[in-house]
Amino acid sequence: MLDTRPLLEETDFPRIFRGKLSILQVNLGYLCNLSCVHCHVNAGPKRTELMSRESIDQVLEFIDRQGIRVLDLTGGAPEMNPEFRYLVTEARKRGVEVIDRCNLTILNEPGYEDLAQFLADQKVVVTASLPCYSEQNVEQQRGKGVFAESIIALQKLNDLGFGMPGSGLSLNLVYNPGGPFLPPAQAGLQADYQRELKESHGIVFNELLTITNMPISRFGSMLLSKGQFADYMQLLKDNFSEQNLAGLMCRSLVSIDWQGRVYDCDFNQMLDMPLIASDRKETYLADLLNEDLEGDEVFIGEHCYGCTAGQGSSCGGALGD
């Protein structure tokens, strides 16, 4: 796979400083039942990296020490980590909101038949990847048969109350572009998703989150192989919006990799760009149990333009629509 890192290191992106930490995003490993074209962590069925129980206990200790209120679980397919249910259960006991970034198809895999019920019982916020409401577009990004499996999973979640008014069970969908272009306006696209999924499949959900593809890892490699990398970076820069700087997710979030190392965001994690406000070459979660990160500088690069282009982009969707 082509390495995009040397092209992203030097940047004129504005300096960013942290606000109050409120979200802990944890990558439980790169094992996944899918291998999606846009995946910025290069996850897949052959990956073996998984967070250990020891590191997960450090996550829980960090939550206790820092008063974290939101735990955002990613992968790979985070549910494939054998400790997933332990972490979710312990976090929910503490009153922490848990977000599961689910690829949907995992809910239909052998051995995971009761996963949807577990998520409902624990009142986990399911944030599910569905890059389009069109079968052709989804399968182009994620593989043959994935759209049908995703629809089955969404119907299963709806049957349990996810996305239903008054249920207290949130179901959000995630859109990302199918190529080197910016997402359309989030509000308008959400209305399209809600109409098409309701009319065609009887599916309802709460919110659509639009996320810009980052020029890193698998997607960045694809851009390089097609000679589109420079053009895509120019697109991101040409659409830079200063008003998005205040809402950047790196100001309120830290990202933890499967080994317990800490980064300013999930994208920096994939680029091996550690926290710069530390004198350590690598910073582990255990090093920060009693540290206040507010006011620390964020490690920036050219890829940061992806979060500020157009309506902006974060793990919570558009920053301004």
Task: Please report the pLDDT score of residue 108 as a whole number.
Answer: 94
Predicted confidence (pLDDT) per residue in 119-172, tens digit: 999 999 999 988 878 777 777 766 677 889 999 999 999 999 999 999 999 999
In a domain, 120, yes or no: yes
In a domain, 111, yes or no: yes
In a domain, 1, yes or no: no
Predicted confidence (pLDDT) per residue in 275-285, tens digit: 876 566 789 99
In a domain, 263, yes or no: yes
What angle in degrees, to the nearest 10, is found between the helix axes of 53-66 and 84-93?
Answer: 20
Task: Please report the pLDDT score of residue 282 as a whole number.
Answer: 84
CATH number at residue 76: 3.20.20.70
In a domain, 168, yes or no: yes
In a domain, 154, yes or no: yes
The total of structural domains in the chain comes to: 1
Predicted confidence (pLDDT) per residue in 279-317, tens digit: 667 899 999 999 999 999 999 999 999 999 999 998 889
Residues 8-11: contacts with CB within 8 Å, 24+ apart?
A: 8/215, 8/216, 8/271, 8/301, 8/302, 8/303, 9/301, 9/302, 10/302, 11/300, 11/301, 11/302, 11/304
Predicted confidence (pLDDT) per residue in 68-84, tens digit: 999 999 988 999 999 99
Task: Please report the pLDDT score of residue 219 as a whole number.
Answer: 84
- Domain extent for 251: 19-228+247-301
In a domain, 315, yes or no: no
In a domain, 242, yes or no: no
pLDDT at 7 exceeding the cut of 60:
no
Mean pLDDT over each residue of the chain, to the nearest integer: 90
